[in-house]
């Protein structure tokens, strides 16, 4: 069975040692460690193997392991417009509001993350790329095709040097396909792979919730990119379109009534996880199933424990034989 892990990004307000203790008590096999709060100091992990050993020892004391680390926030800054005040909280305060400073810091952080992963014995980094063209999603005022082309080219210009460092350290980057990223659906994911010339270090962190609310079938994504699924997030969602609500959610915050969709704890939404598990078996994905817990309508500690139980229950191994093989053997004996 695949290991079940808990992404620490939504728990960055909780001290790492407390989070480790709770994750173990909830029944998880490991943690997808986010580079936020006190959970992981990327620069220190890149430069000090003793620090990495301390992190791993703390996990081992609670029978936990790490298969992936995350640096979503720094990754977002690599290609997002650097004058967006909303992302000032993603970087040190001294860089907030400073043109180019946030981006320079972010690029450095992502390169450190590859080395940190190697020092931790981890082969996968999950995260975001950011996008210089997401804000042009709706083509009014009209967006010239060249502008979109230039946007993809810019992402390649910024990320190829980072991916070179990942290659040097034997680590892969798994982009979480997600609105606001350069790849947010199947078509843009394919174009992103083409933009990077299908380099081996770049693939995807599959999160069905972001595809589902956009009204796509998450299983189709797995079928399109079977060799590029480097990591899997288990997160649910529910569409609540009733004729009045809209898929763009009306500038209403998560959990507010009147939205057209919302995230849910695994098993409490509308995603068909059995079909996802069947497809993961077909493409021979044997990595972790990492719970990214987000549900505005549920107490999070109850939800984290409940999610672990759900994921274990819905996961199953593929058959090693054809179901009718026994009948054929019976005929042979006869």
In this predicted structure, what is the pLDDT of residue 319?
A: 84
In this predicted structure, what is the pLDDT of residue 288?
A: 98
Q: Which of 50, 63, 53 shows the shortest CA–CA distance to 20?
A: 63
In this predicted structure, what is the pLDDT of residue 327?
A: 63
Tell me: the pLDDT tens digits for 6-35? 999 999 999 999 999 999 999 999 999 999
**Per-residue pLDDT for 333 more than 90?**
no
In the chain, the percentage of residues whose pLDDT exceeds 70 is: 96
Separation CA 182–CA 189 (nearest Å): 8
Which whole number is the average pLDDT over 296-318? 97
Separation CA 203–CA 216 (nearest Å): 19
Residues with Cβ within 8 Å of residue 80, at least 6 apart in sequence: 87, 130, 131, 132, 180
Tell me: the pLDDT tens digits for 246-305? 999 999 999 999 999 999 999 999 999 999 999 999 999 999 999 999 999 999 999 999
Which whole number is the average pLDDT over 195-218? 98
Q: For residue 141, is the peptide bond before it cis, meaning its omega torsion is within 30 degrees of 0? A: yes
Separation CA 27–CA 312 (nearest Å): 10
Residues with Cβ within 8 Å of residue 235, at least 6 apart in sequence: 207, 208, 209, 263, 266, 291, 292, 293, 294
Tokens of 3: 């290991």
In this predicted structure, what is the pLDDT of residue 259?
A: 95
Query: What is the pTM for the complete model shown?
Result: 0.95
Tell me the average pLDDT of the chain: 95
* Confidence label for 332 from pLDDT (cuts 50, 70 and 90): low
- Sketch out the chain's domains with CATH numbers: 4-333 (3.20.20.150)
Tell me: the pLDDT tens digits for 72-97? 999 999 999 878 899 999 999 998 88
In the chain, the percentage of residues whose pLDDT exceeds 90 is: 89
**Per-residue pLDDT for 181 more than 70?**
yes
Residues with Cβ within 8 Å of residue 237, at least 6 apart in sequence: 208, 209, 210, 212, 213, 261, 262, 263, 264, 269, 270, 271
Which whole number is the average pLDDT over 220-246? 97
Inter-residue contact 288 to 4 (CB < 8 Å): yes
- Residue 223 CA, chain-centre distance (Å), reads 18
Inter-residue contact 120 to 66 (CB < 8 Å): yes
- Residue 133 CA, chain-centre distance (Å), reads 21
């Amino acid at each position: 069975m695949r290991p079940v892990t808990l992404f620490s990004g939504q728990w960055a307000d909780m001290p790492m040692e407390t989070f480790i203790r709770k994750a173990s008590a909830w029944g998880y096999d490991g943690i997808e460690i986010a580079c936020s709060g006190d959970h992981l100091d990327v620069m220190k992990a890149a430069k000090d193997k003793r620090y990495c050993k301390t992190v791993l020892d703390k996990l081992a004391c609670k029978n936990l392991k790490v298969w992936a680390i995350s640096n979503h926030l720094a990754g977002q800054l690599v290609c997002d417009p650097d004058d967006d005040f909303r992302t000032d909280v993603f970087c040190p305060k001294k860089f907030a509001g400073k043109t180019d400073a946030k981006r320079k810091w972010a690029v450095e952080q992502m390169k450190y993350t590859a080395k940190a992963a190697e020092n931790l014995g981890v082969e996968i980094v999950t995260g975001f790329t950011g996008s210089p063209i997401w804000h042009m999603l709706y083509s009014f005022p009209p967006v010239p095709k060249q502008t979109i082309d230039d946007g993809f080219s810019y992402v390649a210009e910024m990320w190829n040097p980072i991916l070179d460092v990942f290659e040097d350290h034997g680590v892969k980057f798994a982009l979480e396909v997600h609105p606001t990223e350069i790849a947010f659906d199947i078509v843009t994911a394919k174009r992103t792979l083409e933009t990077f010339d299908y380099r081996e270090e770049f693939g995807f962190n599959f999160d069905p919730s972001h595809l589902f609310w956009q009204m796509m079938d998450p299983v189709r994504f797995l079928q399109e990119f079977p060799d590029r699924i480097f990591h899997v997030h288990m997160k649910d969602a529910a569409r609540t379109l009733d004729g009045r609500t809209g898929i763009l959610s009306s500038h209403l915050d998560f959990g507010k009534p009147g939205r057209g969709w919302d995230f849910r704890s695994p098993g409490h939404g509308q995603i068909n996880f059995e079909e996802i598990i069947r497809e993961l078996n077909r493409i021979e994905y044997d990595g972790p199933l990492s719970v990214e817990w987000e549900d505005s309508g549920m107490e999070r500690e109850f939800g984290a424990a409940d999610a672990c139980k759900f994921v274990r229950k819905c996961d199953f191994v593929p058959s090693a034989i054809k179901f009718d093989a026994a009948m054929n053997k019976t005929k042979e004996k006869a």
